[in-house]
Structure 1
Amino acid sequence: MSFDIKDIPQTINSVNLEQEKMYGQNDLNVIVNKIPGVDATYDMRDEGIKIRGFSASSGDIYRDGVRASGQVRQSTANIERIEILKGPASVLYGRGLGGGIINMISKQANFDSPTTINLRGGSWDKYGGMLDINQVLYDKLALRMTIDHQSDRSFRKGIKQRDTMVSPSILYDNLEGFNWLVQYTHDNLWRRPDRAPAYYDLPKGVSLKTAYAHPDDYVKDNFKSLRSVMGFEINYDWSIKLTNLYRKAAQNFDHIYGGNYCDLKGKLSNGKTCNYQGKLQFRRAWQETANITYSNTIDLMGKFNTGSIAHDMLVGIEYNIEKRQPRLALTSAYPELVDPFHPHWNTKKPHYNKLNTKTNHKAISQGLYWQDLISFTKQWKMLTGLRYDNYEFESNDQIKHQHRSYDGHSLSPRIGLIWQPIESQSFYTSYSKNFSPYGDRGLITLSTDSKTVYDNKPQYSRQYEVGIKSDWLNDKFSSQIALYNLELYNIRYQPDSVNDPYTEVVISVKALN
């Protein structure tokens, strides 16, 4: 279902990636960081993106309308457009942290796109290219193969990465109302992370180009997905769409991180004493984790009239299974010390000898949703929606041999009133609500320790928004102005995010943004 942007009573931004690709930009957080209300900071584990102050990196990023779960960096190698919907979006997308969602639209087989070749290069040994072949075999069948590779280094010594993506797709359209798209995507990102201490914690005279990564450090982000979308037009006004997806996102790493500098007086930056004067001491982290998602959705879309009132309606059913299996080992102090001015590693990293985390998480959810764009006149419209979600969750800690589970349900409403006095101007006011049953970062996780204080009510947010969407100069220029009040309840947080990043507890307080 596709609405005109002026018929949606929420702030929406769209980014066409063609220009970004011309400048060699593939990182999602760099691309969206220029959007108002979106902030991004470097995060080794994910994108570090916040929308209206709420994290969106682990649970509120989507590919083609399906949640891209997992703790991975999101490659845009096969993406042609990015849409950012700000504010709660649970009516159509289910659980979320409430600041908004990012939806990446992928390149897929069609009957219009040409075949293109792209080569790019830049400073710091950046080079890459894309081969995008879209071939119409005959009037009912189209094939597309997109291959992208990019490699680059950093201005900081020893820091580098490379990314390879392959995505074939096939589209069949019988020209009588039935179409079927099948797409497979495999993206493999390898990088040597830069996890040095903050520059202001280092002694004077250290060059900005100095990095401290061990030669054997690595992070591997591996993403695989198989997507099927079948559509059937019942008649001119009504259609059905069935979407099925299998997705596996894994992030494995082994690297040093943090780092404390002991000055010549035997003091750390926090004032504590130390006995390795003039040297840096690091910690080390090892991880293997996988997020597996099975997503199934049926949408019924149609238009009808009740008297003089027009309706554009969507009814859908969604069934999802998500599994997450983190394996994490942390060391309190890496044995080798490093000169901050002339870093050099003399030893290989030892294999970890003890896991801190070995837990299996599983979440099952069912959603039933309805949305209706009601047009009373050409000037006055109302967008209403309601979603009911039922969810089950369980965690099994294989180290402590502890198990915990819970289930629940949530109701997410949405209503917006739209006034369009002329075609180019749209004034709106809206209310919407979001829910997140699993955790603050959007990951499906919960402490299995029976002593942990928590409640099983979801974290939820609600937003009131008023705004104006305008087109100017014969649609050559557009603008959006919005005022909103966004509230967060049942806030989840991590008591010890450094040593135990997977334990979440809940406090029942209220926050305003």
Structure 2
Amino acid sequence: MSIAGYNNLTNRDNLFNQTDLIARFATGPVRHILLAGMELGRQETTNLRQTAYFQGANGAFTETSVNTPLSQTRIGRPIQWRQAATDASNTGTNHVVSLYLQDQIELLPQLQLIAGLRWDHIDAEITNRRTGERLSATDNNISPRVGLVYRPIDPVSLYASYSVSFLQRELPAALGRAAGLAERDEPGAQAGILHQLRDRRTLGDPSAPDRDGGDLSVGADQCRGHQSG
């Protein structure tokens, strides 16, 4: 059996600010809870990959793999960590500006309609520290969501929703932009029953705003079922 090793270190520093404004009002018999917000963020990423070089019989650290029988998978060979020719060394920065708006509309005492939009603007820059190559990418996306919540009795909610989630490219992947790597839109739908045992605004309550842009769907998941909170 051949054994090799590598060390892939990634450091990220994040600074984000999120501000929400909530207004409650009525248009005739219809009551609204309007949520508007803005998110500002900056993410700095440093990535360094190193290969394990094993000490050979001559004392030099030149071997990138060693062979050992399956009965002796624990080895005690000195190792030096350094970069091979294809190991990555990158730095990158993400700047994020997001705006979102959601209206929670009480059509009937037991029936709510939730509709919202989120706009994301992301500037990504990455530098290959080994070659000095610099690349940048700008992503703009609008993510819609809509859902219905029906409460036949107070602790039980029936819900259905549809949303589109924006999956941003990761900074290291931006080096492959020429190969067609890009952001993706992932549609998602959910329907189910929520049984609440405690406070109405518990985790998973479909009427509670999700600051990631969608509280009833995650990625492209489609599910039907029961939740208790």
Normalization by structure 2: what TM-score?
Answer: 0.73
Contact 1:374 1:381 in 2 (8 A): yes
The 5 Å alignment of 1:257-268 reads: 261=1
CA separation of 1:330 and 1:447: change in aligned 2, threshold 3 A = farther
The 5 Å alignment of 1:40-189 reads: none
- Flag the structure with more relative contact order, 1 or 2, with Cα contacts below 8 A and sequence separation at least 6: 2
Deviant stretches of 4+, over 6 Å? none
Cα deviation for residue 380 of structure 1 reads 1.3
Q: How far, CA to CA, are the matches of 2:167 and 2:14 in structure 1?
A: 17
Q: CA RMSD in A?
A: 3.0
What SS class does the counterpart of residue 108 from structure 2 fall into? coil
State whether structure 2 residue 44 is matched by structure 1 residue 323: yes
CA separation of 1:283 and 1:421: change in aligned 2, threshold 3 A = same
State whether structure 2 residue 195 is matched by structure 1 residue 470: yes
Cα deviation for residue 394 of structure 1 reads 1.3
Residue 179 of structure 2 is matched in structure 1 by 453
- How far does the alpha carbon of each residue in 1:409-434 deviate from its partner, in whole angstroms, 9 at most, with x for none? 11011111122222233222211110
Q: How far, CA to CA, are the matches of 2:64 and 2:196 in structure 1?
A: 58
State whether structure 2 residue 77 is matched by structure 1 residue 347: yes
Residue 152 of structure 2 is matched in structure 1 by 421
Cα deviation for residue 369 of structure 1 reads 0.7
Percent identical: 20
2:108 to 374, 377, 380: 377
The 5 Å alignment of 1:233-312 reads: 261=1, 281-312=2-33
Normalization by structure 1: what TM-score?
Answer: 0.35
- How far does the alpha carbon of each residue in 1:448-469 deviate from its partner, in whole angstroms, 9 at most, with x for none? 367x32154x211112322222
State whether structure 2 residue 93 is matched by structure 1 residue 362: yes
Q: How far, CA to CA, are the matches of 1:420 and 1:283 in structure 2?
A: 58
Q: How far, CA to CA, are the matches of 1:428 and 1:344 in structure 2?
A: 53
Q: How far, CA to CA, are the matches of 2:29 and 2:118 in structure 1?
A: 27
Cα deviation for residue 335 of structure 1 reads 4.7
Gaps of 5+ in 1: 1-260, 262-280, 473-479, 489-511
Contact 1:360 1:397 in 2 (8 A): yes
Cα deviation for residue 298 of structure 1 reads 1.2
The amino acid of 2:142's aligned partner reads: L
Contact 1:395 1:446 in 2 (8 A): no
State whether structure 2 residue 130 is matched by structure 1 residue 409: no
Cα deviation for residue 311 of structure 1 reads 1.6
Residue 201 of structure 2 is matched in structure 1 by none
Cα deviation for residue 396 of structure 1 reads 0.9
Cα deviation for residue 444 of structure 1 reads 3.0
Q: How far, CA to CA, are the matches of 2:108 and 2:74 in structure 1?
A: 72
Q: How far, CA to CA, are the matches of 2:74 and 2:143 in structure 1?
A: 55
Q: How far, CA to CA, are the matches of 2:37 and 2:187 in structure 1?
A: 22
The amino acid of 1:345's aligned partner reads: I
The amino acid of 1:318's aligned partner reads: E
Q: How far, CA to CA, are the matches of 2:33 and 2:164 in structure 1?
A: 22
Contact 1:326 1:359 in 2 (8 A): yes
More strand by share: 2
1:391 to 98, 122, 137: 122
Contact 1:336 1:347 in 2 (8 A): no
Contact 2:44 2:93 in 1 (8 A): yes
- How far does the alpha carbon of each residue in 1:119-168 deviate from its partner, in whole angstroms, 9 at most, with x for none? xxxxxxxxxxxxxxxxxxxxxxxxxxxxxxxxxxxxxxxxxxxxxxxxxx
Cα deviation for residue 353 of structure 1 reads 5.0
Residue 71 of structure 1 is matched in structure 2 by none
The amino acid of 1:324's aligned partner reads: T
- How far does the alpha carbon of each residue in 1:238-268 deviate from its partner, in whole angstroms, 9 at most, with x for none? xxxxxxxxxxxxxxxxxxxxxxx2xxxxxxx
Cα deviation for residue 381 of structure 1 reads 0.9
What SS class does the counterpart of residue 376 from structure 1 fall into? strand
Cα deviation for residue 336 of structure 1 reads 4.1
Q: How far, CA to CA, are the matches of 1:291 and 1:391 in structure 2?
A: 17
Q: How far, CA to CA, are the matches of 2:83 and 2:101 in structure 1?
A: 52
Q: How many residues align?
A: 195
Q: Which one is further off, 417-426 or 373-382? A: 417-426
Residue 444 of structure 1 is matched in structure 2 by 171
The amino acid of 1:462's aligned partner reads: P
Residue 68 of structure 2 is matched in structure 1 by 338
CA separation of 1:380 and 1:340: change in aligned 2, threshold 3 A = same
Cα deviation for residue 398 of structure 1 reads 1.4
Q: How far, CA to CA, are the matches of 1:455 and 1:322 in structure 2?
A: 20
- How far does the alpha carbon of each residue in 1:358-393 deviate from its partner, in whole angstroms, 9 at most, with x for none? 111211110011122111221111111111111111
State whether structure 2 residue 175 is matched by structure 1 residue 431: no
What SS class does the counterpart of residue 138 from structure 2 fall into? strand
The amino acid of 2:186's aligned partner reads: S
Contact 1:402 1:449 in 2 (8 A): no
